[in-house]
């Protein structure tokens, strides 16, 4: 059960279906991942690359559990497609501020669905010759990946349903939910996308 202190008004939103990941589970897993990154990058020059906007919440929490010097930069990409499906055609809306040559880069992404966005990002960043390039994803949807991807750090695997909360949006809404939950299918079925 979700604790009553968590945004009771948002929780009652009739568009939200079921809660898939509770706030406490998010906290615990993010802490563990932070500890893992701390240990594995102990003597390396770590640059976290957050993918805007969905990964912002995850990245901010993760970074507080990384206890080695590190830096952060952001990219914004948009994949052409409807609000709930990505097409694989990716456009860079905001590029990194920093050069990544010879640096240890960790991409921080909210969710891997088809994997097409991440696959494009990896290909793009690899051409800039980082010392290493790995991925830390909050969630991965099972059985829907269209390209093979090596995701080194992953917090949760979820069923292939559309989810919102903890940074993830539907039409820019619901990012502020403290949990990850499903959206009732009729919400996006009826939407004009
Ligand atoms: P992919 O290219 O199909 O892997 O989709 C990746 C991007 O689509 C993610 O970075 C999200 O921004 C968005 N996305 C995929 N699934 C969801 C979801 O269930 N909720 C919200 N955004 C999603
Ligand atoms: Mg995203």
Q: Rounded distance, CA 125 to CA 129, Å?
A: 7
Q: What is the pLDDT of residue 11?
A: 64
Q: For the segment 130-168, what is each residue's pLDDT rounded down to a tens digit?
A: 999 999 999 999 999 889 999 999 999 999 999 999 999
pLDDT (average), residues 63-76? 98
Pocket of ligand 1 (CB under 6 A): 54, 79, 86, 109-118, 162-164, 168
Instruction: Tell me, letter by letter, the H, E, C secondary structure of the chain.
Output: CCCCCCCHHHHCCCCEEEEEECHHHHHHHHHHHHHHHHHHCCCCCEEEEEEECCCHHHHHHHHCCCCCCEEEEEEEEEECCCCCCCCCCEEEEECCCCCCCCCEEEEEEEEECCCHHHHHHHHHHHCCCCCEEEEEEEEEECCCCCCCCCCCEEEEEECCCCEEECCECECCECCCCCCEEEECHHHHHCCCC
Among 74-83, 86-95, 135-144, the range with the most confident prediction by mean pLDDT is: 135-144
Q: What is the pLDDT of residue 6?
A: 58
Q: For the segment 96-131, what is each residue's pLDDT rounded down to a tens digit?
A: 999 999 999 999 999 999 999 999 999 999 999 999
With beta carbons less than 8 A apart as the criterion, state whether 107 and 37 touch.
no
Q: For the segment 14-56, what is each residue's pLDDT rounded down to a tens digit?
A: 899 999 999 999 999 999 999 999 999 999 999 999 999 999 9
Instruction: Quote the ligand 1 centre to 103 CA distance (angstroms).
Output: 27
Among 168, 170, 175, the mutation site with the greatest number of ligand 1 atoms within 8 A of its Cβ is 168
Tell me how far apart the terminal alpha carbons of the chain are, to the nearest angstrom.
Answer: 33
Q: What is the pLDDT of residue 86?
A: 64
Residue 41: which of 106, 107, 128 has the closest Cα?
106
Residue nearest atom 8 in ligand 1 by C-alpha distance: 86
């Amino acid at each position: 059960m979700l604790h009553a202190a968590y945004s009771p008004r948002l929780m009652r939103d009739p568009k939200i279906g079921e809660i898939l990941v509770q706030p406490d589970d998010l906290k615990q897993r993010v802490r563990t991942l932070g500890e893992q990154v701390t240990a594995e990058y102990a003597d390396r020059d770590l640059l976290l690359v957050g993918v805007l906007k969905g990964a912002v919440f995850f990245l901010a929490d993760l970074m507080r559990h990384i206890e080695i010097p590190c830096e952060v930069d952001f990219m914004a990409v948009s994949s052409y497609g409807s609000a709930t499906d990505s097409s694989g055609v990716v456009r860079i809306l905001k590029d990194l501020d920093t050069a990544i040559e010879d640096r240890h880069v960790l991409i921080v992404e909210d969710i891997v669905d088809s994997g097409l966005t991440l696959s494009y990002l990896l290909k793009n960043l690899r051409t800039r010759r980082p010392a290493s390039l790995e991925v830390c994803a909050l969630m991965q949807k099972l059985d829907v990946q269209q390209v093979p991807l090596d995701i080194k750090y992953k917090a949760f695997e979820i069923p292939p349903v559309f989810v919102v909360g903890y940074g993830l949006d539907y039409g820019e809404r619901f990012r502020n939910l403290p949990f990850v939950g499903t959206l009732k299918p009729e919400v996006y079925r009826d939407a004009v996308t």
